[in-house]
Chains A and B, each alone.
Chain A
């Protein structure tokens, strides 16, 4: 290099030599960014003019960059905007989002992601970044080998856990296989200079836009989209898939007297697919305390072997826990019980329909053993029991939104009868023993009679309690497809403060106009009971207009109470608003059913 081509003064040369003598590669990256920023600062205007002239020619972006920020005071958002400007100036296509509006599942499709996030309090992320933080630091983050990313962490050194949120996000994304294009940069209150340097560095090191995706496939990279993979085996009722529990959280507030859980299960690698409206079937086991009491009452040896076939031999304890229904008593079973025992009292009961109905509701096998004592032989007793059936739950997610996951909403069956606490076999198991990372045998049951209308048509969704579950799936689906409006949700439960299932999600959906309207009825918040049917009546004029304009009406929830009342209310509305007779109203509703515009899923 001739001395002429080097514009530095002698003094500067010495300083430069001194500087680069022991410089690390990390430091060079930093210097690069620093000098770049200096240059931009000096001739910013001139360069900009040059570029804008070129803009009309160059329209393909050199790189794609998604900028995500999580801010408490607004600093991170300011910086994100600044980065966007700088990136656009370099002809980078930018997608700027706050973390609250970003679905972290999309990370696997990104090429370059810049994260700017602050830390507050005891090392916590800002409110708007909480979900993002939870997702990426959780076990659900998929492999992100194609992602290039960088994190700018803002913080305040006077706090402990300085910049912790940013650091955790950085480490989590890095761990997933993504490539950090710059080291993590942590800033104290005077963040301006390091942030500037970080931006310049980041923009120098973006991975170019993937122009030839076909090339990607040839290179033999692992298929990113696992959903297209053919699984090794097919899962079904006979061969259930063991789904891992990804998340489990009680979603009723602490002062609720109802226990409702939201569970998220992984279907990764199963090849199982479902549509909104479908159900998830779960194989379960009976409550251990009940099984123990039954064995004791019947005087069985729990370890005694029961033989079902040559290869199938299990203990009594195992059989009663996993193979047979013991928490529910059916008419059929009572009859068989009588045939074996010839118990006189049972005969009387079987002859009295009203008493029989009362007895069946909430009774279990232990009740039978206590009420109609008999010296049972194990095999004889097992003969009259029906196999333990899987439990069905309306799926509360859409694959459009959650990918290879399935979400369910479980209300724990818990009640007392004859001074004994009773629990549902499956719900109590899911609420109790089952924990995150456990595996549950499942399969999908199609429910073609409960489907979203085509083309984003109008829908009125009526649900109480966990009956709201399929509507969450419906709304996730429409949200993912970007469909707004034409949706009206009626929800009922006990208390606004603690039983408003998925309240935060409905509010967000309403804010974004995917959910057009929502009415709520909370029965125990005032002296007089208010239920969903009352809300239907209040809005009857518009409901009828919606129906006349082609709306599909959905009803989901409890068969015993809700279904009857809502059905009657709908008939009333059709009669009054349509100005027709009762018979005509019934015909009208029947017709709606035939046209699949009145779809019911009650249990």
Chain B
């Protein structure tokens, strides 16, 4: 190609990707360097494409700096498993890897997958190797590629679950990079002489930024379809999936102090038949690949491409790539984003238990042995596990005979489904401190405590059972999708959060900033009168998120561009 690239104008990461020899970088050398627990700085960009993030124990960063020691580096490993489905054997494998190489816990993420935290550099290869042995992998779980594809999680809620999970897997493998770097570096597969690695779809610079795809089956919006770069909404007609509405341009990440960045809820732009989904996905990603901003990573997601060039432009461009026009979007109705807990019998005559995992953290803690319980369930279940987009887990496909045995296991480890408040049931928290380098404040370690305090206020007003979506993240990048919550909390500095209100329960409306940079005391003080007012003046069946907008506590956000931190 005669095209010359002006690297000066492009983001640094573009050059790193280009120079990485299709995602090899100097990872092998970095892993072999015994003097540091870190990998080379450029490799920290490349490792993401392999599902690996370098982190450090931030609780100790200051202390170790004084001690003239480098930060206590470790790595996050994220698994790729479209639709969040795993076999009991795979669960047991992840469980033992957590004990052997990670921090003795598993994180269930908001994208239906596992994360291991605290893996040391010297153990990375063994861990990745073992994950692959159980027929899972970590390829492109992070990085500027299509990430883990999400889909509706609950077989008990819809007979179409098998169909959408197949679709999720199909999309997932369609977008896998073709480089053999992963197999060479982690699995010791030798590079076959003369074999030429090329990325016919991605090219050597891959996408401008990460890309997220999710599929929902209404009325459940458990994948937060409006937060995805590309979403598909299954349209059920005459007892089968007639096709999918196409949603584009969602995305939640933004940066404090840079008003050009903002969360954006996706737009429904049309409808496609089931057999067209992969093609539509490919062409949407291709438009973003070719037209996305490669100069400034902060405004590189598809949502900004669309806002920069216009939704009409995008649709015309997409049709050009497709060679046909998607059909007109069909009506659909969604009612919630959260999971419905407890045992349910599916149309497949099997039992499915949705189990609440607070903050998605599977661990043993005083009295509640969640990790032990899930391991024991994996040993006895005759079904499988499905991770939900709400950081929970479903024991799916359980027979009548095994069901009571599972109940007994849960009881034994003191994690039987208890009566949870409507607030806690609908809570999400990202990892944040101490491992996430982006976090300004606590989230997963702190949200449970805050929820308890808000519960006290709700109880006074007889609202304990009221479903309210609350989400907390340690930074504005949006992993925990706080911008779509009825109560959103985003960390600004230790112990201080921005408070956002007015997202919809259904997950199709962004919330709006209500108070800036406030402490717990202030958060509770601000919520107190709102809850009181909600209890006394709400309309019949009115959701908290809708109520605060009707009562003008916050202005409704109609377009992402209006959003301010």
Given contacts A510-B35, A519-B34, A520-B34, contact A500 B440 (CB under 8 A): no
Residue pair B517, A254 in contact (C-beta under 8 Å) = no
The CA of A253 and the CA of B67, in the complex, are separated in Å by 7
Stretch from B57-65, B129-137, B160-168 contacting the other chain: B57-65
Residue pair A249, B494 in contact (C-beta under 8 Å) = no
B residues near A252, Cβ cutoff 8 Å: 67
A residues near B400, Cβ cutoff 8 Å: none
B493 within 8 A of A: yes
Stretch from A198-206, A207-215, A437-445, A501-509 contacting the other chain: A501-509
Q: Which A141-177 residues have a C-beta within 8 angstroms of B?
A: 156, 158-160
With CB as the reference atom, state the residue of chain B lying closest to A519.
B34
With CB as the reference atom, state the residue of chain A lying closest to B73.
A497
A residues near B37, Cβ cutoff 8 Å: 496-497
A585 within 8 A of B: no
Given contacts A496-B37, A510-B35, A518-B35, contact A158 B492 (CB under 8 A): yes
B residues near A500, Cβ cutoff 8 Å: 69-70
Contact check: which of A262, A496, A498 meets B68 at CB < 8 Å?
A: A262
Given contacts A121-B494, A497-B72, contact A251 B67 (CB under 8 A): yes
A130 within 8 A of B: yes
Residue pair A503, B65 in contact (C-beta under 8 Å) = no
A137: shortest Cβ distance to chain B, in Å? 14
Given contacts A121-B493, A159-B492, A497-B72, contact A249 B517 (CB under 8 A): no
A525: shortest Cβ distance to chain B, in Å? 8
Residue pair B493, A251 in contact (C-beta under 8 Å) = no
B267 within 8 A of A: no
Contact check: which of A158, A160, A254, A520 meets B35 at CB < 8 Å?
A: A520
B residues near A498, Cβ cutoff 8 Å: 69
Q: Which A250-308 residues have a C-beta within 8 angstroms of B?
A: 250-254, 262
Q: Which B478-497 residues have a C-beta within 8 angstroms of A?
A: 492-494
A128: shortest Cβ distance to chain B, in Å? 11
Residue pair B257, A122 in contact (C-beta under 8 Å) = no
Q: Which A468-504 residues have a C-beta within 8 angstroms of B?
A: 496-498, 500-504
A189 within 8 A of B: yes
Residue pair A505, B68 in contact (C-beta under 8 Å) = yes
Q: How many A-B residue pairs have CB under 8 A?
A: 61
The CA of A249 and the CA of B492, in the complex, are separated in Å by 31
Contact check: which of A73, A159, A501, A518 meets B493 at CB < 8 Å?
A: A159
Residue pair B257, A504 in contact (C-beta under 8 Å) = no
A residues near B257, Cβ cutoff 8 Å: 73, 156, 189
B516 within 8 A of A: yes
B87 within 8 A of A: no
With CB as the reference atom, state the residue of chain B lying closest to A505.
B68
Residue pair B34, A504 in contact (C-beta under 8 Å) = no
Residue pair A504, B68 in contact (C-beta under 8 Å) = yes
A residues near B69, Cβ cutoff 8 Å: 251, 253, 498, 500, 503-504
- Identify which of B35, B36, B60, B256 gathers the most chain A CB atoms within 10 Å of its CB: B35
The CA of A519 and the CA of B35, in the complex, are separated in Å by 7
A457: shortest Cβ distance to chain B, in Å? 23
Residue pair B70, A159 in contact (C-beta under 8 Å) = no
B1 within 8 A of A: no
With CB as the reference atom, state the residue of chain B lying closest to A260.
B67
Given contacts A159-B492, A159-B517, A254-B60, contact A506 B67 (CB under 8 A): no
B residues near A251, Cβ cutoff 8 Å: 67-69
The CA of A501 and the CA of B494, in the complex, are separated in Å by 31
Residue pair B493, A122 in contact (C-beta under 8 Å) = yes
Residue pair B516, A507 in contact (C-beta under 8 Å) = no
B66 within 8 A of A: yes
A residues near B34, Cβ cutoff 8 Å: 496, 519-520
Q: How large is the interface on B (under 10, 10 to 19, 20 to 34, 35 or more residues)?
A: 20 to 34
With CB as the reference atom, state the residue of chain B lying closest to A190.
B257
- Identify which of A158, A501, A519, A520 gathers the most chain B CB atoms within 10 Å of its CB: A158
Contact check: which of A158, A502, A520 meets B516 at CB < 8 Å?
A: A158
The CA of A275 and the CA of B483, in the complex, are separated in Å by 61
Interface readout for B503-523 with A: 1 if CB under 8 Å, 0 if not? 000000000000011000000
B477: shortest Cβ distance to chain A, in Å? 14
The CA of A189 and the CA of B65, in the complex, are separated in Å by 29
Residue pair A249, B66 in contact (C-beta under 8 Å) = yes
The CA of A520 and the CA of B34, in the complex, are separated in Å by 7
B residues near A497, Cβ cutoff 8 Å: 37, 72
The CA of A254 and the CA of B67, in the complex, are separated in Å by 10
With CB as the reference atom, state the residue of chain B lying closest to A502.
B68
Residue pair A507, B35 in contact (C-beta under 8 Å) = yes
Residue pair A504, B70 in contact (C-beta under 8 Å) = yes
The CA of A419 and the CA of B68, in the complex, are separated in Å by 34
The CA of A507 and the CA of B73, in the complex, are separated in Å by 14
Contact check: which of B63, B68, B70, B494 meets A254 at CB < 8 Å?
A: B63
The CA of A43 and the CA of B517, in the complex, are separated in Å by 43
Interface readout for B424-465 with A: 1 if CB under 8 Å, 0 if not? 000000000000000010000000000000000000000000
Interface readout for B37-77 with A: 1 if CB under 8 Å, 0 if not? 10000000000000000000000100111111110100000
The CA of A130 and the CA of B66, in the complex, are separated in Å by 10
Residue pair A121, B68 in contact (C-beta under 8 Å) = no
The CA of A577 and the CA of B69, in the complex, are separated in Å by 36
Given contacts A504-B65, A504-B68, A518-B35, contact A158 B494 (CB under 8 A): no
A residues near B516, Cβ cutoff 8 Å: 158
Contact check: which of B70, B72, B256 meets A507 at CB < 8 Å?
A: B70
With CB as the reference atom, state the residue of chain B lying closest to A134.
B66
With CB as the reference atom, state the residue of chain A lying closest to B498.
A158
Given contacts A504-B65, A510-B35, contact A158 B70 (CB under 8 A): no
A192: shortest Cβ distance to chain B, in Å? 13
Residue pair B494, A122 in contact (C-beta under 8 Å) = yes
The CA of A253 and the CA of B65, in the complex, are separated in Å by 10
- Identify which of B36, B257, B494, B516 gathers the most chain A CB atoms within 10 Å of its CB: B36
Residue pair B67, A158 in contact (C-beta under 8 Å) = no
With CB as the reference atom, state the residue of chain B lying closest to A520.
B34
The CA of A519 and the CA of B34, in the complex, are separated in Å by 7
Residue pair A503, B440 in contact (C-beta under 8 Å) = no
Q: Which A50-92 residues have a C-beta within 8 angstroms of B?
A: 73
A residues near B66, Cβ cutoff 8 Å: 249
Residue pair B440, A121 in contact (C-beta under 8 Å) = yes
A535: shortest Cβ distance to chain B, in Å? 9
The CA of A498 and the CA of B60, in the complex, are separated in Å by 12
The CA of A256 and the CA of B322, in the complex, are separated in Å by 61
Residue pair A506, B492 in contact (C-beta under 8 Å) = no
The CA of A160 and the CA of B517, in the complex, are separated in Å by 9
With CB as the reference atom, state the residue of chain A lying closest to B255.
A73
A residues near B67, Cβ cutoff 8 Å: 249-253
B13: shortest Cβ distance to chain A, in Å? 14
B480: shortest Cβ distance to chain A, in Å? 21
The CA of A497 and the CA of B60, in the complex, are separated in Å by 12
B438: shortest Cβ distance to chain A, in Å? 12
The CA of A250 and the CA of B69, in the complex, are separated in Å by 11
Contact check: which of B60, B63, B70, B494 meets A503 at CB < 8 Å?
A: B70
The CA of A121 and the CA of B440, in the complex, are separated in Å by 7
Residue pair B493, A503 in contact (C-beta under 8 Å) = no
With CB as the reference atom, state the residue of chain A lying closest to B38.
A507
A residues near B65, Cβ cutoff 8 Å: 130, 504
With CB as the reference atom, state the residue of chain B lying closest to A489.
B35
B residues near A496, Cβ cutoff 8 Å: 34, 37
A residues near B492, Cβ cutoff 8 Å: 158-159
Residues of B within 8 A of A (CB): 34-37, 60, 63-70, 72, 256-257, 440, 492-494, 516-517
Question: Could you jot down 26 A-B contacts, CB within 8 Å?
Answer: A121-B440, A121-B494, A122-B493, A122-B494, A158-B516, A159-B492, A250-B67, A251-B67, A251-B68, A252-B67, A253-B60, A253-B64, A253-B67, A253-B69, A253-B72, A262-B68, A500-B70, A501-B68, A503-B36, A503-B68, A503-B69, A504-B68, A504-B69, A507-B36, A518-B35, A519-B34
Q: A158-B492, A249-B67, A504-B65 are in contact. List 4 more A-B contacts (CB 8 A).
A: A73-B257, A254-B60, A507-B36, A507-B70
A-B CB proximity, top 5 nearest: A251-B67, A158-B517, A504-B68, A518-B35, A121-B493
